[in-house]
Amino acid sequence: MSQLLTTRDLAEAIGVSESSLRRWVDDGVIQAFRTAGGHRRITLDEAIRFIRESGTPLVNPVKIGLPTLPRDHQGYTVDPTETLLNALMVGDDEHAIGIVMTYFLSGKPIATLFDGPIRATMTRLGELWKHNERGILIEHRATDTFIRALSRIRLSIKNPPADAPVAIGCAPGNDPYFIPTMMAACIFADNGVRDINLGPQTPTQTLIHGIEENQARAAWLSISTEFEQDQLERDLTPLIASTAKLGCQLVIGGRNAPTQLRKPAPHVLLTRTMAELTAFARGISAP
Ligand code: B12
C-alpha cells in the first residue's frame, strides 16, 4: 500500500478526467513530484488526504491499490465485518487495513466505521478464545492490525490549525486498551479539535498535567477495564475537580464507563459511542 500513483490511476479512481487531475497537480491542490522522465507521481497518502478533504467519492478503489467493499447481489455495498473477520482470521492484515481505508474514503462519517465494523469485528474476535485455541493469537494480531489502520487514518487527517481548541485524553491507569482512545483522537482531529492522545495505562495525575500544560478545552477518558466502583470514584474525583477548576469539559465513555456519577457535574458528559463523541467534538470546535 505504499505505491506511487500516476495521474491516470488517481483520475480513474475518483472518476474524473486525467486532464482535470493534471491541472489540480499543477495548481498545487494535489502534491506530486516528477520522475526523472518528467512524469507526475502521487503518493497513496497524498491521494487519501485529497480524497477525504475534497469529499470526492472513491468510485474505483482498485485503481489506487485498495480493495472494493463487499457488495450484495444487487451491487449495493454491505457491512464489511465478515470480510474483515475473514481477513484477520488468516492474518491478511494488508486486506483488512485496505478495507478500513476504503471505508474511510467512502464518504461516511468515521464514527460509523468505529462504532460499526471495527467494534463488531473486535467483539466477535473477543469470543474466539472460548472455542478456538488460536483465539488469543488471532485477537492480539487483529489488535495490532487495527492499531496500524487507525494510525493511518489519523495521519490522513490534517492537523487542525495551531489556534484550534485542544482535547487531550487516554485510558486510565491499569486499563491497557489502545484502540478506543485512538478512535477518540481521530474523532476530535476530524472535527477540527487538536488531539493529544496519551494512550492506555495513563495515571489520572498525568492527564491533569496534560490538561494544564495544553490549556485543553476538553478531555476524554476511555474506560474499557472493569474497575471496582470505589477505585473508579477515587480516580475520577480529582479529575472531575481539576477539570472544573481549569474550565475543561470532560467526556467519559467506553465499555466499562460508569452510566452515572454519584455527584453529577455539569461539565462532565457520560456517553457511549463515537457518534456521540462526534457531536461533542463539534460543539467544542464551534466558534
Ligand atoms: C483486544 C482485547 C484485549 C487486549 C487489548 C489490547 C490493546 N492494547 O488494546 C488485551 C490482550 C490487553 C486484553 C486483556 C484482557 N481482556 Co480483553 N478484550 C479485547 C477485545 C477482543 C477487543 C477490545 C477492543 O479493542 N474493542 C474495540 C473497541 C473499539 O470497542 P469498545 O471498547 O467497545 O469501544 C467502543 C465504545 O465502547 C465506545 N468508546 C470507547 N471508548 C470511548 C471513549 C469515549 C469518550 C466515548 C464517548 C466512547 C468510547 O466507542 C468505541 C467504538 O464504538 C475485547 C472484546 C470486546 N467485546 O470488546 C476483549 C474483552 C474486553 N477482554 C476480556 C478479558 C476477559 C480480558 C482479560 C481479563 C483477559 C486475561 N485473562 O488477561 C484481560 C483484562 C485486561 C484489563 N486490565 O482490563 C473480556 C471481558 C469480559 C468482561 N467481563 O467484560 C472481553 C469482552 C473478551 C470476551 N468476550 O471474553 N484484552
- Residue 180's nearest CA partner among 54, 280, 272 is 272
The answer to whether the CB of 143 is under 6 A from ligand 1 is yes
Q: Is 149 in the same domain as 173?
A: no
> What does the alpha-carbon distance between residue 129 and residue 69 come to, in Å, rounded to a whole number?
28
- Which domain does 123 fall in, by range? 81-156
Inter-CA distances, 187 with 129, 137, 176, Å = 31, 29, 20
Nearest to 118 by CA among 89, 95, 78, 85: 85
Quick check: CB of 98 below 6 Å from ligand 1? no
The answer to whether residues 114 and 135 belong to one domain is yes
Contact 139 CB / ligand 1 (< 6 Å): yes
Q: Which ligand 1 atom sits closest to the C-alpha of 220?
A: 45
Sorted by sequence, the CB contacts under 8 Å of residue 86 that are 6+ apart come out as none
Question: Does residue 251's CB lie within 6 angstroms of at least one atom of ligand 1?
Answer: yes
Do 201 and 226 lie in a common domain?
yes
For residue 68, being part of any structural domain is answered with: no
187 lines ligand 1 (CB under 6 A): no
Neighbours of 3 (CB within 10 A): 10
- 125, 232: one domain: no
User: Would you state the pLDDT for residue 90?
Assistant: 96
- Quote the CA–CA distance of 285 and 65 in Å, as a whole number: 34
Rounded to whole angstroms, the Cα distance separating 53 from 48 reads: 9
End position of a domain, from candidates 138, 156, 174? 156
* Domain-terminating residue out of 126, 156, 186: 156
Contact, 280 vs 271, CB < 8 A? Answer: yes
Of 122, 78, 124, give the one whose Cα is nearest residue 103: 78
**Domain boundary pick from 125, 156, 187:** 156
224 Cα: distance to centroid of ligand 1 (angstroms): 6
Residue nearest to atom 62 of ligand 1 (CA): 126
| 73 within a domain of the structure (yes/no) | no
Q: Which of 85, 100, 119, 280 to mutate to test the pocket of ligand 1 (most atoms within 8 A of CB)?
A: 119
Q: What is the CATH number of the domain that holds 170?
A: 3.40.50.280
Strand 4-5 to strand 40-43: parallel, antiparallel, or no bridges (unpaired)?
Answer: antiparallel
- For the Cβ of 253 lying below 6 angstroms from any atom of ligand 1, the answer is yes
| Residue 98 belongs to a domain | yes
**Ligand 1: distance of its center to the CA of 245 in Å?**
32
The pLDDT of residue 282 is 97
Phi, psi (rounded to 5 degrees) for 168: -130, 145
- Residue 224, ligand 1, Cβ within 6 A: yes
Nearest ligand 1 atom to alpha carbon 179? 25
Distance of alpha carbon 52 from alpha carbon 104, whole angstroms: 8
Q: How far is the CA of 250 from the centre of ligand 1 (A)?
A: 22
Report how far ligand 1's centroid is from the alpha carbon of 177 (Å): 6
Query: What is residue 163's three-state secondary structure?
Result: coil
Contact 195, 110 (CB under 8 A): no
CA atoms within a 13 Å half-sphere pointing along the CA-CB vector of 178:
11
Q: Are residues 188 and 148 in the same domain?
A: no
Burial of 184 (0-12, 13-18, 19+ CB in 10 A): buried
Q: What is the pLDDT of residue 2?
A: 54
What pLDDT, on a 0 to 100 scale, did the predictor assign at position 107? 86
Read off the CATH number of the domain in which 29 is found. Answer: 1.10.1660.10
Q: Which residue positions in the chain have pLDDT lower than 50?
A: none
pLDDT at 3: 77
The rounded distance, in Å, linking the Cα atoms of 156 and 67 is 18
